[in-house]
Amino acid sequence: MRFQAENGGKILGLLLFFLLSSVSCDKEQNSIIPYVPVSISLNLNIYNELSVPGNSIFLPGPGFAGIIVYCEMPGSYTAYDAACTYEISPTCRVVNDGVQGTCSCCGSQFILMGGGYPTKGPAAKPLQQYHTSVVNGSLRIYN
């Protein structure tokens, strides 16, 4: 009886270890886009176009190929790296047009609403997403 309890405890401990290690993996570490530290704030009073749902803007500079910010609804924003997940080059950027983005090199199209998933290939993976938060009229974008 003691032998079974010890083995059960080991199995439970092993399962707990695997569960915790899989939960602790950071999303950005598994990305195919090279990691670049990002921590910027935008004054939403200056970026008026982001007050309209369905609008998007491009920010050159931060991230691997710049950042696309998309307004889902007032006060709710999504930020993506503008690097195409097929070309993976800072010069092959996704050009945003409202709710859609198109790679300037391979022509892959991505829908910016709901996760940046490709709608037309050859890209098969969604755009690299950054964290966002809104505090006192300022949009913070970070990884």
Task: Give dist(CA 117, CA 126) in Å, integer.
Answer: 4
Q: Is the pLDDT reported for residue 26 higher than 50?
A: no
At 32, list the tokens. Answer: 């195919």
Tell me what the mean pLDDT of segment 60-75 comes to.
95
Kindly state the DSSP code that residue 16 receives in the 8-state scheme: H
Section 72-82 average pLDDT? 95
Instruction: Name all domains of the chain by residue range, CATH numbers in brackets.
Output: 31-142 (2.102.10.10)
What are the pLDDT digits (tens) for 82-134? Answer: 999 998 999 999 999 999 999 999 999 999 998 999 999 899 999 999 999 99
Statement: residue 72 has pLDDT above 50: yes
Residue 53: cis peptide before it, omega within 30 degrees of 0:
no
Give the separation between CA 82 and CA 137, rounded to whole angstroms.
Answer: 24
| pLDDT of 62 higher than 50 | yes
Confidence bin at 31 (pLDDT 50/70/90): confident
7-16, 18-27, 31-40: least confidently modelled range: 18-27
Angle at 126 between CA 113 and CA 50, to 5 degrees: 35
Average per-residue pLDDT for the chain: 84
DSSP one-letter string for 63-76: TTT-EEEEEEETTE
pLDDT digits (tens, 9 = 90+) for 48-59: 899 999 999 999
Q: How confident is the model at residue 4 (pLDDT cuts 50, 70, 90)?
A: low
